[in-house]
Structure 1
Amino acid sequence: MKDFVKVVIIFSMLSLSCSLSRPIKVMEGKKYKSNSTLQKRLVNIADTGFAFGQQDGTAYGVNWYLNDGSNTLNSDIKKVSGELPAMIGFDLGHLEHGGIYNLDTVSFALIKQQTIEVDQLGGIISFSWHADNPVSQGSSWDTTPAVHKILYDKKINAKFNLWIERLSRFFKSLKDENNQSISVIFRPFHEMNGSWFWWGRGNCTNEDYVKLWQYTIERLRQHGVNNILTSFSPNTMNDIKDFEDFYPGDDYVDVLGVDIYNHNGNQNFIKSVEDNLSILRAKGEKSNKPFALTETGNVNMGKDSRWWTEILYPVLEDSGISWVLVWRNARKDHYFATFPNENSSEDFKTFVNKSQVLMLPDLRSKKL
């Protein structure tokens, strides 16, 4: 009897060990094809210039904030230039919990409403996802290891599957006035070559990061999500290895991107943009994918009155990108675009009139 018990215990331990050594499997969804209409738009835009966008640009700005239900698309950029950005970025962080507001306290009802309004005007929407850490319950910046457990731990995997189901419902709810799906860009697990997010370098293996990306996209496909283009966006790359170490593969990525800020001065910023866009251009040409500067901003905006025309525009002119998106205007000590009477506001007006800068009215007038 004792020997029998020992055998049962050993068998159970072996079974547990095996279950923790294999990634959670998911059946592949219906045959999936990237949203070719939006992808073609991005290619056509790149042939003309580049769309200019801002994160949360129509939800709030310096000293103003829209309430739910407002039917006016406001913008610091519009207040300065008279034109709305061609692209608006929003974040889906906290949607995974079924929350009413995202991590920047913008309601998902307003995000959905403005997605419909921007699409109706001919603009483009990009979604990032600062998901909380599913293991520690902390924020995206809580680097407690989580990726391996999403893939191998049944309890954490079940939680993550619920998160993806909630994302899926949101994406599928984005319908225009004719009840047609609105195509959007989805930029998850960004800046993975940095160490500040739970999915970043050093907080999971490169192999597990790739599996996480592929698993997430497969789950979205299984839930019938077919109105997204996925954007792969590392932080400033030192070399091509920073791209290749984490790239999930052409079947799981539709747009190539990179996030670059001028943390080390404008000249280093210029060189980083040139070098990084060269990598994306080569990869994009090989895989026939558009590419973009998916997140950027001047950390010294108040000190650089001519940053738009003397730094940003020259490095992006004829670069081949589909869009550039600057980060949000949260307050006077944390902003990345401009606003009325800000130090660079006059320069921004000149920037907007540059031949390759495409604002929302330009997309409509040029039929892009």
Structure 2
Amino acid sequence: MKYFVRILILFNLIFVASCGSLPRQSNTILADREANPNVVALRKRLLEIAKEGIAFGQQDATAYGLDWYLQDQPEVLTSDVKKVVNKQPALLGFDLGHMELGNTYNLDTVPFALMKQHTQKIYEKGGLITFSWHLNNPVSGGSSWDTTSAVTEILKDGPVNQKYEDWVKKISMFFKSLKDEEGKQIPVIFRPLHEMNGAWFWWGKGRCTPEEYKKLWIKTQELLLANDVHNLLYAYSPNIMSSSEDFEMFYPGDDYVDILGVDIYNHSGDPEFMKAVSSNLKILKEKSSGKNMPFALSETGNFSMAANPEWWTEVLYSTIQNSGISWVMVWRNARKDHYFSTYPSEVTENDFMQFEQKEDILFLPELKSIHN
């Protein structure tokens, strides 16, 4: 009898010990098992948004635009989008690149203090916020686009590993500082180490093995958790994929991901772009099926806006309509030869107005009424 009891106790201990690493079996389990309630609510809300339509977002939308810059007036909330349709985007994207260096501005000269203020303002208005991180190469000291081998060095004990851990600690402090008026942490979407199936970043294809990339993703997440960051949803976001196998190559696993995304730009003309977006969103929909994961067109834009004055309605909308995505985010309006939304007097301005009128395209006012 004593032998039986000992076996039973041992079995229970093994079962309890393994529960923390069980695969995702519930659609309520997040990558961060200790995520705060606001994060759980955000994930549910993203699923609800997809039932109602598609949230429209833009990178750095409220920080600057064509011929204006809010560096000295962070309390102001405007955007090129608002100047055209009198509505803010439903989602704001910001980048943490250069925070790891201890700078007060990111790589696109956006003050981190402004990001924090605008995150708070947009969240109070019912909007969504997503962060990427174009961090420097920790080996060479170059930019994200410096493809000097670095991942292997991060994954082993040594000065580069220590540097990376210190960098994650810096962004951890920023994430934990994002709080609403009641002092509760604001839930945001974090899209790290993106476009890994391309060869242009030091963490990308050919710069490390798929297994090394997965280890880096998991290490980054574990470091954030160890720094007591519990207000993030983690978005996995490859560049354009050729197949489901392309998606799986670098995928760290369901236990480490909350949202699926893909980044696709219009480089080669409208027909190719539409074909790519359609096929890639089908891949995401298939991968999210059964897991109840939100998915999105996490980064996009047209490099030749002047080529089609009706691009928003004829190309983008017709391709993402009824796709199941929670949001679409276009890249930033940096200057007249590098912009991805519209602005007053721009060639697609009138068509963007028609795009905004689509019942299932959601801007900030429409998003506020959608709860989890």
**Same fold, TM exceeding 0.5?**
yes
Task: Give the TM-score of the pair, scaled to structure 1.
Answer: 0.90
Q: Cα RMSD over matched residues?
A: 1.4
Aligned to 1:278: 282
2:34 aligned with 1:32: yes
Aligned to 1:233: 237
Q: Secondary structure at the match of 2:78?
A: coil
Consecutive unaligned residues of structure 2, counting only runs of 5 or more, are 1-20, 22-30
Contact 1:236–1:260, Cα closer than 8 Å, also in 2: yes
Q: Secondary structure at the match of 1:39?
A: helix
Aligned to 1:204: 208
The partner residue of 1:218 within 219, 222, 244 is 222
Contact 2:74–2:117, Cα closer than 8 Å, also in 1: no
Aligned to 1:176: 180
Alignment map for 1:1-368 (pairs within 5 Å):
31-33=33-35, 35-367=39-371
- Which residue type is aligned with residue 96 of structure 1? E
Offset of 1:272 from its aligned partner?
A: 0.5
Offset of 1:32 from its aligned partner?
A: 2.9
How many residues were matched structurally?
Answer: 341
Task: Give the TM-score of the pair, scaled to structure 2.
Answer: 0.90
Distance in 1 between residues matched to 2:85 and 2:264, nearest whole Å: 24
Q: Secondary structure at the match of 1:88?
A: strand
Offset of 1:264 from its aligned partner?
A: 1.3
Contact 2:74–2:118, Cα closer than 8 Å, also in 1: no
1:50-99 CA-to-partner distances (Å, cap 9, x unmatched) read 10000000000010000244322110000001100000000000011111
Distance in 1 between residues matched to 2:262 and 2:46, nearest whole Å: 16
Alpha-carbon distance change, 227 to 33 in structure 1, aligned in 2, over 3 angstroms: closer
Identity %: 56
Aligned to 2:10: none
Distance in 2 between residues matched to 1:251 and 1:265, nearest whole Å: 37
Distance in 2 between residues matched to 1:128 and 1:310, nearest whole Å: 29
Q: Secondary structure at the match of 1:309?
A: helix
Contact 1:68–1:109, Cα closer than 8 Å, also in 2: no
Distance in 1 between residues matched to 2:158 and 2:333, nearest whole Å: 40
Distance in 2 between residues matched to 1:366 and 1:197, nearest whole Å: 36
Distance in 2 between residues matched to 1:69 and 1:331, nearest whole Å: 20
Q: Secondary structure at the match of 1:194?
A: coil
Q: Secondary structure at the match of 1:152?
A: coil
Contact 2:81–2:342, Cα closer than 8 Å, also in 1: yes
Offset of 1:366 from its aligned partner?
A: 4.3
